[in-house]
Amino acid sequence: MSNHKKPTIIWEKWQDPYGLDNEFDDMDYGDIDNDQEYPNIVSKHIILTNMGMIPYNEYTDCTKIFNFWVGHTNFSLSANIVNIIQEIEGVETLDIFTRYRFRIAFAKAFKEREVINNINNTIKSIFVYE
């Protein structure tokens, strides 16, 4: 990163790529009865994983399990920066998408705004001393 730019992270709430957010609240299970051939199906959505097919429902919806956000940076996400972010309290998961983009999940016992501020302040302090 050049010395004249200050490090910036633009934050946005992560959107489910399956586009199923809030759909589970409106699901109608009334057409499933015990006489059907497959009485245990409780989801009309299935996702394929390396562990096989998983019903995608309100209990497996990652947006309900994790508090995901995406960070867009104007600096490279070096191994050093990634390690520093991972060590900040409240960071539950960190996935690097590209050189300038990452997805992060904040643990539910932490306030997301405080964790974001800690990340922003830590990153700024790194570049002051580089």
- 72-120: pLDDT as tens digits: 999 999 999 999 999 999 999 999 999 999 999 999 999 999 999 999 9
Predicted confidence at residue 127, as pLDDT, reads: 83
Residue 25's φ and ψ, nearest 5 degrees, are: -65, -25
CATH fold for domain 9-14+66-129: Alpha-Beta Plaits (3.30.70)
**Lowest mean pLDDT: which of 21-25, 49-53, 114-118?**
21-25
What's the 3-state SS for the chain?
CCCCCCCCEEEEECCCCCCCCCHHHHCCCCCCCCCCCCCCCCCCCEEEECCEEEECCCCCCHHHHCEEEEEEECCCCCHHHHHHHHCCCCEEEEEEEECCEEEEEECCCCCHHHHHHHHHHHHHHHHHHC
Q: Look at residues 84, 106, 105 and name the one whose alpha carbon lies nearest to residue 95.
A: 105
